[in-house]
Amino acid sequence: MAAVSAAILCQLKAGDHIVAARALFGSCRWVVETLAPKYGIEFTLIDGRFLENWEKAVKPNTKVFFLESPTNPTLEVVDIEGVAKIANQIGAKVIVDNVFATPLLQKPLELGAHIVVYSATKHIDGQGRCLGGVILSDKEWINEHLHDYFRHTGPALSPFNAWTLLKGIETLPLRVRQQSENASRVADFLAEQNQVAKVIYPGRKDHPQADIIARQMKGGSTLVCFEMKGGKEAAFALQNALDVVLISNNLGDSKSLITHPATTTHKNLSDEARAELGISPGTVRFSAGIEDSEDLIEDFARALKSVQA
């Protein structure tokens, strides 16, 4: 979150305006909605799936567009190239939180984004060892905006954590490949189950934005979002019955992890805001690890037996 907040705040001043997609990780939304306005920075939250919403939200003082794609947890996508074109017309900068896509499956700078941020705590570390973040941009932006902000406010990694994250990068492609394959197999399995109302996975043809995904992503992500028919009770029963898959709010780990967004990552949102994002009491987020996919499917098959259809 230090990387996300630095990337946003280092380039803004009182009187500036941010347009952000409303589908953001809870803390990212807090930075935009609660922290930035304390310093006189205005914001507009939009449904980022539709390019016309970005255009309509622009004001004379708009300086930054901020988005996640795919989003946490409902895996909506934003047309990054389209948003970058709108931003370029008004001289605003596009910041993409690329954590759900990983650097392997989506390259926002090549799509026209100006700044990319990662929680390195996720896939880059990949083994739940340390917190970290990354900000990518061109040298000019880094020198003009980030350099002094960073030096004087101190969101620095310890050398040991930096070393650990660099070691993580060595195996990142292998892990993301296996995790994406596992996510894809689990998504297809879940889509066939009676207890499951809906599966959202960017690698499936039935994803509502499959055309944008085909244009801007090289794979389907390592995460799957699905909705249990029996709401929160069924979601909890499933999570508790899983053995191989562990309950945790982390994601991108070598171990498969599962979480219930409405009571964890997005619990601070109002019921209305959660509903707007498609997060229901039955919504579950699965982060695929590097286990054998057969073990994961067996685990889900067994755990689902303890959940009423």
Q: Is 165 in the site for ligand PLP (CB under 6 A)?
A: no
Distance, C-alpha 232 to centroid of its chain: 22
Of 72 and 178, nearer to ligand PLP (C-beta) is: 72
- CA–CA gap between residue 135 and residue 139 (Å, rounded): 12
Residue 40: exposed, middle, or buried by beta-carbon count in 10 A (0-12, 13-18, 19+)?
Answer: exposed
Of 53 and 248, nearer to ligand PLP (C-beta) is: 248
Q: How far is the CB of 121 from ligand PLP (least distance, A)?
A: 3
> Considering only residues 7-66, where is the footprint of ligand PLP by CB under 6 A?
25, 27-28
Q: How far is the CB of 8 from ligand PLP (least distance, A)?
A: 12
DSSP 262: G
Residue in the block written with tokens 């539709």: 50
Find, among 25, 264, 44, 254, the residue nearest to 133 by Cα: 25
Three-state DSSP state, 93: strand
Q: Is 279 in the site for ligand PLP (CB under 6 A)?
A: no
> Considering only residues 62-91, where is the footprint of ligand PLP by CB under 6 A?
68, 72
Residue 229: exposed, middle, or buried by beta-carbon count in 10 A (0-12, 13-18, 19+)?
Answer: middle
Q: What DSSP assignment string belongs to 14-75?
A: TT-EEEEES---HHHHHIIIIIHHHTT-EEEEE-TTSHHHHHHH--TTEEEEEEESSPTTT-
Of 28 and 113, nearer to ligand PLP (C-beta) is: 28
Q: Is 125 in the site for ligand PLP (CB under 6 A)?
A: no
Binding residues with ligand PLP: total (CB under 6 A):
13
Of 121 and 195, nearer to ligand PLP (C-beta) is: 121
The contact pattern for ligand PLP, residues 126-155, with x = CB under 6 A and - = no contact, is: -----x-x----------------------
* Chain residues in the site for ligand PLP (CB under 6 A): 1, 4, 25, 27-28, 68, 72, 97, 99, 119, 121, 131, 133
